[in-house]
Amino acid sequence: MREHNKAALWLLAALAAWEIAGRTTPTVRDVIATPSLILAQYLSDGGLYLPHLAATIRSASIGFLFGNSIAIIAAILFCRVPAGASAFRGVNIALFAMPAIVVGPVLAIIFSDNLPQVILAALVVYFPTMAATLVGLRDIDPRLPDVIRTYGGGKNAILRFVRLRSALPAILAGLRTAAPLSVLGAILGEFGSGVRWGLGSFLLGSLGDADPARLLGIGFAATAVALTGYGVFAWIGRRTVGATMAVTIAADRSPDTIGADEKYSWGKRSALMIVAVALPFLLWWLILRVFELSPIIAPGPVETLRYLLVGPSGAEACAALIAALGQTLPLAGLGLICGIGAAFAAASLTVLRPAAANAILPVAMLLQSMPLVALVPLVLLVFGRDTAATLVMAVLVVFFPAYVTLAQGFALVPGAARELVQVYGGSRTKELLLVSVPYAASYLFAAAKLVAPRALLGVMVAEWLLSGKGLGNLLNASRGLLNYDMVWAGALVSILISVAAYEAVSLLERLF
Amino acid sequence: MVAKWPPEGGRYKKALVVSSFKDPYAHEPADLSIEGVSKTFRARGRSVLALASVTLKIRRGSFVSLIGPSGCGKSTLLRLVAGLETPDEGTVLIRNESPHSFRARGELGIAFQDPALLPWRSVRRNVALPLQVLGKNVNAHRQRIDALIELVGLTGYADALPGQLSGGMRQRVAIARALVTDPSVLLLDEPFGALDQILRRSMNQELQRIWTARPTTALMVTHSIDEAAFLADEVVVMNAEPGRIVQTIPIPFPRPRTPGLFAAAEFHAVCDRLAAALDPGGVR
């Protein structure tokens, strides 16, 4: 409770400092307004907010419900049939790594009204909940299955008596991560579908005026909705599970932990790998079949590849994509490296000041749950629409999750190893260099896998909304020009690049 | 030391190892029969012969301890009897049945070093778990569950959660759970391995009391020489690489055995014999 009070005091102090700075310095006021100006804007925009908020919350909640239900059922099936988890590896990685913003326009082609936002919200919550649930179902006291089997119980009895209840804290942790993501998914879906109502639409419509008080107001509103969702599930978790559960990477496990550890023969493993690669494309084809969509607006995998590879139109499309990627990828890579580097530096410095680390971690945990579109107003107002703004966006979306992962890595350095340095009179700095940094370096890969797809998403969101360059803009423009083939091809290419980045980090991790 | 056969009171307490010495009662039916069992484990390209052609017969109603260094296959042997592992070679029979069909009737009770309780269930509901897995009506057995909780000395804790109990109390819950189906064979895998020496001795007392009150054929794996000797009618000494039975040593002391036994010279002599069997090359 005292921690809460302290945090509230810091927040109030920060708001007061902002207000004073804004009132005394006009340049500050013109760029980031002041809390009182934002409040005044809320009061005058009051009537506008309600329908926008209601639309976003509605899409996010329905998507949350469906996405998480499917995620929990999928996790139970993957646990029960490990080969299924291997077969669905491609689908799971694609859902984990996909830059959600590229999926919105595709969904808007297939579905109408609010369905694209709802489905995108469901798609973005699927992976964290599925991963957390599966880990919870698998990480059980290894003796318990023996007890059940000794009384003739099979896998179903183990699931019923042990796994489901054991997984409850992990499921709640997954839902806690999923709640703010569903808001992000709904907002990104609004960008793609171009609906009238929703916080995303509100933001899109307000970017042109660049009124700092309104833009920041929208950013705060989106953050508040997302963090409320986080808070509700954090509260439910504490109430139902009792003991404060470790807030770990568990909720954001990368897809590596999902693959089954079963020992398959070489042949079976290869077969599962082929299925894993083919399944996402098969599902793509199947969905188009089920909804009986015309190949003109909704090309399948084969048509999309043909569009990219065949004839002069293919060469043209490839050239456009390559030009866009030439702008997007360097920024994403640079943002990724800077973000992780800054996070590692910040996390290692907190080793020198453990008290500061304890204070910062909860704040970082909250900020990593902040929907990244809520950062757009701030970035626009401070950095404008240049390349710098795009880079800042990428660094910001990378920094917080990377920091949380790395800080946990530093926290897991064995106390005895650190005390060993102290016993020989080593300073905190020496302890950091000799023990903590080498130890926590292994968490760099975990952090990189987690945030590599986010870096791409951050850059594309900035390109879409601010800079008008790169892949993000290409997709936005193609959507406006009704160039359906390019929308699908662009989505495919960005997902493939994201998955490739993820796999590349995994490969590096295995090599080291 | 040759026991009278059948002993007074009609209970058969005798463990025989057919392979290592001639037993005059080898023709008597065994409760538990392990014949020529081999088991190999493969891990990271290495294969370890956990059990090499092990034969062991255990009479109904006897208490047998398995003792030996790490990796001698004693836990594997116990898991084979529980049907948790299947042998590569040889057969495991409990009263002429496979472990799988025997355990499906709830005739097998098991307790591990880690009590392996469900942390969200009260003591009573933890004890009831085997009945639920067997698909029996738990409410119909409520009285025997409470009687068992009393037998293991946890009266008043029936509604407590495992997290509220001490290590020794949790271990008692595990033993009550192992007894709830009224098993005819009780398997104990280092049940007190995680407890300190003082607690362990009093738990040994307790186990003897419980076992005398509800006689079963008991097979216990342990690391502790004096625990093995205090509780068992016969101690089976095993050795590693490959896992095999070295010797079977009968423990002649009458029951009930009291804590005073730990101090008796005869007891120490038996423990020395066990230690010598465990480490034949050692300086004694």
Are A152 and B134 a contacting pair at CB < 8 A?
Answer: yes
CA distance A448 to A455: 10
**Residues of B at the A interface, defined by Cβ within 8 angstroms:** 79, 82-84, 100, 103-106, 108-110, 112, 114, 116, 118, 120, 129-130, 132-134, 177, 181, 187
Superfamily holding A28-293 = MetI-like (1.10.3720.10)
The CA distance from B207 to B221, in Å, is 14
* pLDDT at site B2: 41
Cβ(A410)–Cβ(A351) below 8 Å:
yes
Pick from B79, B120, B133: CB nearest A151: B133
Confidence of residue A246 (pLDDT cuts 50, 70, 90): very low
> Is 60 exceeded by the pLDDT of residue B22?
no
Q: What is the 3-state secondary structure (H, E, C) of A240-255?
A: HHCCCCCCCHHHHCCH
**Where do the H-state alpha helices sit in A81-211?**
82-87, 89-97, 100-110, 115-138, 143-150, 155-158, 164-193, 199-206
| Distance, CA of A219 to CA of A227 (rounded, Å) | 12
Distance spanning both ends of chain A, measured CA to CA = 43
Mean pLDDT value of segment A44-55: 90
Within 8 A of B83 by CB-CB distance, chain A residues are 149-150
The pLDDT, as a whole number, for residue A257 is: 53
**Greater model confidence, A364 or A203:** A203
Give the CATH number of domain A294-512. 1.10.3720.10
Q: Sheet harboring B89-94: ordered strands across?
A: B15-16, B46-58, B32-43, B89-94
Q: Which of B83, B105, B116 sits opposite A141 (nearest CB)?
A: B116
Q: What pTM does this model have?
A: 0.83
Provide the pLDDT for residue A247: 36
pLDDT at A355: 76
* Per-residue model confidence (pLDDT) at position A497: 92
Tell me if A405 sits within 8 A of A249, measured CB to CB.
Answer: yes
**Ramachandran assignment for A140, one of left (phi > 0), alpha (psi -120 to 50 degrees), beta (any other):** beta
Instruction: Give me the pLDDT at residue A255, please.
Output: 57
Residues of chain A with CATH 1.10.3720.10: 28-293, 294-512
Residues whose CB falls within 8 Å of the CB of residue A184, separated by 6 or more in sequence, listed in order = A100, A124, A226, A371, A372, A373
pLDDT at A445: 86
* Other CB atoms within 10 A of residue B69 CB: 14
DSSP string, A305-350: HHHHHSHHHHHHHHHHHHHHHHHHHHHHHHHHHHHHHHHHHHHHHH
Locate B45 and state its tokens. 């390209």
* Contact call for A152 and B106, based on CB within 8 A: yes
Q: Do A144 and B132 touch (CB under 8 A)?
A: no
Tell me the backbone φ, ψ of residue B55, rounded to 5 degrees: -125, 130
What integer pLDDT is reported at residue A3 of this predicted model?
64
B contacts of A161 (beta carbons < 8 Å): 118, 129, 132-133
Angle at A137 between CA A135 and CA A140, to 5 degrees: 95
> Is residue B198 pLDDT above 50, yes or no?
yes
**Is the CB of A146 less than 8 angstroms away from the CB of B82?**
yes
Contact state of B108 with A141 under an 8 Å Cβ cutoff? no
How far is CA A43 from each of CA A39, A48, A214, A380, rounded to the nearest angstrom?
A: 6, 10, 11, 23
Q: Which of A157-161, B16-20, B109-113, B160-164 has the lowest mean pLDDT?
A: B16-20
pLDDT digit string, tens, across residues A325-358: 999 999 999 999 999 999 988 888 777 777 777 7
Query: What is the reported pLDDT for B64?
Result: 94
**A147 inside 8 A of chain B by CB:** yes
Q: Do B116 and A144 touch (CB under 8 A)?
A: yes
Beta bridge partners of B236: B66, B248
Phi, psi of B2 (to 5 degrees): -110, 125
* Mean pLDDT (whole number) for B122-151: 90
Q: How much is the average pLDDT of A318-330? A: 93
Residue B264's Cβ-side half-sphere holds a number of Cα atoms within 13 Å equal to 12
Residue among A150, A157, A165 minimizing CB distance to B110: A150
Give the best residue of A144, A149, A150 to mutate against chain B (max B CB count within 10 A): A150
What one-letter code names the amino acid at A226?
Answer: A
Predicted confidence at residue B23, as pLDDT, reads: 46
Q: How far A262 CA sits from the closest chain B CA (Å)?
A: 13
Which class does domain B11-107+183-278 fall in? alpha beta
Q: Which residue has the higher pLDDT, A21 or A350?
A: A21
Mean pLDDT of chain A: 86
The ipTM assigned to this model is 0.78
Angle at A312 between CA A309 and CA A314, to 5 degrees: 30
pLDDT tens digits, residue range A391-442? 999 999 899 889 888 888 888 887 787 778 778 877 888 888 888 888 888 8
pLDDT at A258: 52
- When pLDDT is cut at 50, 70 and 90, the band that residue B21 belongs to is very low
- Whether B8 shows a pLDDT value over 60: the answer reads no
Comparing CA positions, the residue from B188, B181, B244 lying closest to residue B219 is B188
Question: Contact A72/A241 with Cβ under 8 angstroms?
Answer: no
Per-residue pLDDT, A282: 93
Euclidean distance between CA atoms B48 and A383, whole angstroms? 64
User: Distance (Å) from the C-alpha of residue A143 to the closest C-alpha of chain B?
Assistant: 6
pLDDT, tens digit (0-9, with 9 covering 90-100), for A452-475: 988 999 999 999 988 888 999 998
B contacts of A141 (beta carbons < 8 Å): 114, 116
pLDDT for A85 beyond 70? yes
Distance CA A69, CA A42 (A): 35
Q: How confident is the model at residue B284 (pLDDT cuts 50, 70, 90)?
A: very low
* C-alpha–C-alpha distance, residues A139 and A126, integer Å: 20
A373 pLDDT more than 70: yes
pLDDT band at B182 (very low <50, low <70, confident <90, very high): confident
Whether pLDDT at A118 is above 90: yes
A165 and B120 within 8 Å at the Cβ level: the answer is yes
Mean pLDDT of chain B: 83
Nearest one of A25, A22, A134 to A71, comparing CA atoms: A134
* Residues A208-222: tens digit of each pLDDT: 887 888 888 999 999
Phi, psi of B165 (to 5 degrees): -105, 160
Whether residue A65 is predicted with pLDDT greater than 80 in this model: the reply is yes
**Through-space distance between the first and last CA atoms of chain B, rounded to whole angstroms:** 23
Residues A133 and A226: their CA atoms lie apart, in Å, by 21
Nearest Cα to B183, choosing from B110, B112, B124? B110
Alpha carbon distance B225, B66 (integer Å)? 10
Q: Fill in the amino acid letter for A128.
A: P
Per-residue pLDDT at B281 exceeds 80 = no
